[in-house]
Structures are given as C-alpha cells and as structure tokens.
Structure 1
Amino acid sequence: MGTGRLRGAHPVLWAGWAALAAGAVLCVAGWYGVSGERYAERQLPYLASCTIPGAALIVAGAVLLTYGRVHAANARVEELYGLLVAVAEPADAREAVVPAPVAVSGELRMVPGGTLWHRADCPLVAGKPQVVPVDGKLLAGGDLDPCPICEPDATDS
C-alpha cells in the first residue's frame, strides 16, 4: 500500500534540520567573533559573514520544516482517503446486500410539539411513552414533515 514512504522522513525535513543547524552554528560563531572585538568597525565583518547568513539559514530551515510536515500530512490524508473510498467489488452482483427498511409499520405516530411524523416502529419514537397517533389536521395542514429515517407515507394511516 506504500506506507513505507510515510514512515521515513521526507528529504525536505532533513534539509530543514540541516539548515537550522548550520544557521545556529553561524550565529554562535558570529556572536563569538563580535564578543571578542571592542570596536564596531571590527565587529561588522562577523555580523556580515556569520550572523546575518546564520539568521537567514534559520528562517529557511523553519520554512523547509513547515513545508516538509505539510507535505507528509497531505500524503497521509491521500492514503487515508484511498483506504476510505476503496470498496471491494462483490464477486457476483446478485450477492449484493439490499438494506432492510428501518420501519415498516402502517401506523403513524408523532411526539406532541414535534415537527416530524413517524411510523410506529421508527427507532426515533419506538418505546417513548409520550408518542401519540398523528393528528390528521396537523398532517393535512402541512405542519408536520415526514421523518427522514423511516420515510412514512400519508396513505399509511
């Protein structure tokens, strides 16, 4: 499935860590050189040749690390998406399982104050003591909507 590539570090991550390390070494060398000089005109070469490039390498390393981590995360998301949408084809189309209906009762029920009407064996109302038969006036007036789970029909009642 190609998970070996994900477990190894991405080359951009290695480059980012190397740039961070080199930048840190240059900054330390620049600081050490500047700290040993008393006059500003003798400190400028250390700033120009060590500290400024070191800071630039640190910024470049941070950018590379961010890019590498985003790249690795995107690769993981793509792999997970591939696993999610991969569906095994049935050997024979006739063996495909047809889902059973959620509710088949012809009796219609509603919860007082509710906005939906249900079949009596709908999982949303089955076993609830406050359920009452559907009021025909509410049903005819369009005040109630059919349950999207049990999908009752007005002719069931």
Structure 2
Amino acid sequence: MRTPLPRTAHPVLWAGWAALAGGAVLCVVGWYGVSGERFAERQLPYLASCTVPGAALIVAGAVLLAHGRDALAATRVEELYGLLVATEPGDADASGRAAATPLATSDELLRVPGGTLWHRADCPLAAGKADAVPVDAGALSGSGLRPCPVCDPPGRDDPAGPPEG
C-alpha cells in the first residue's frame, strides 16, 4: 500500500520539476543563440540572458527535488514510527503500560529458505510465504538459525524446546 504524497512535499516536487524544465529550455535557447553568432561579443548576451540563468534553474530544480524527496521520506518514516508505537487505549493495564499480547501463538515452527530466523507458523513475517518449510529440533541444533524477535518462538534454550516433528 502506497501512502499519498503529503501536501507539503507535493508542491516542492512540482516546483523542482518546473525549474528543471525551464532551465533546460533556457540552456537550449542560449546554445542556439550562441551557435548562430561568430563573434564572442555577440555571443555574450545569449550567455548572460539564457545559459547562465538556465544553469541556475537546473541547480535550483535539483535542490528542490532533493529536498522534496527528503521531506517525503521523513514523513513516511514518521508515519511508520507512529504505526509501530501506537497502542489502543484498551491495551494498557493499570500501570499505564501496554499489555504484552503475543503476535503469534502457534506451536508449529517454520523457516524461510535463505533466512536466518525460525518463526511460529502464524508469525506476520512468515505467514503466507509459500516457500516456508517446517523446522524440527534437529534442523535447529546444527543450523545458524536464531529465533524470530517478533513472534518469539520456543527456542533451543526454552524448557519446552521446539516441538519434535
């Protein structure tokens, strides 16, 4: 899902593209005017009135585009941070802390080929992956896999241990 462009970055991006286009047009007009003149003293007005301002507009457009994309990225990071730390008012206990509800509760363990973690079957990071394969205790002991920090599956050090299977 793509988030819409924030209203503050949208005009900045449009202004950047407009400045780049205007600068390119001025540079082409200046080049065309200079190329038609034989003497340097007749080329100078084209350089002063078209080519130099065109180059300045290109630089300004590049700066505006970079600033607009940075503002867009910062807005998206803030939005994602807000989603990560958002808690429902009903999730807080009497001390004001959010109640620790597990994301996944399945006892079946999975791993994604090429991955470095093992997950519970209903972990958001592994759920719906067609190439996820079941993990048994033998595979965990000899591999470099680590438990997923999101779903917190039973691991090698857990008294319950990973389920045999």
Query: What's the TM-score once normalised by structure 2's chain length?
Result: 0.55
Structure 1 residue runs of 5 or longer lacking an equivalent are 101-110, 112-116, 129-157
Taking the aligned partners of 1:97 and 1:41, their CA distance within structure 2 comes to 78
Structure 2 residue runs of 5 or longer lacking an equivalent are 106-140, 142-155
**Count of residue pairs brought into register by the alignment:** 111
1:59 is matched by which residue type in structure 2? Answer: V
Show CA shifts across 1:34-57 (max 9, x none): 111111111111111110110111
Percent identity over paired residues: 67
Taking the aligned partners of 1:92 and 1:60, their CA distance within structure 2 comes to 49
1:39 is matched by which residue type in structure 2? Answer: F
Show CA shifts across 1:54-87 (max 9, x none): 0111011011101001101111111111111111
Larger Rg over CA atoms: 1
Partner of 1:61: 61
Query: What's the TM-score once normalised by structure 1's chain length?
Result: 0.57
**Residues 92/85 of structure 1: CA separation in 2 closer, same or farther (3 Å cut):** closer
Asked if structure 2 preserves the Cα contact closer than 8 Å seen for 1:16 and 1:62, the reply is yes
RMSD (Å) for aligned C-alpha atoms: 3.3
Partner of 1:12: 12
Taking the aligned partners of 1:66 and 1:29, their CA distance within structure 2 comes to 26
Asked if structure 2 preserves the Cα contact closer than 8 Å seen for 1:6 and 1:76, the reply is no
Taking the aligned partners of 1:70 and 1:5, their CA distance within structure 2 comes to 12
Show CA shifts across 1:103-125 (max 9, x none): xxxxxxxx7xxxxx9454223xx
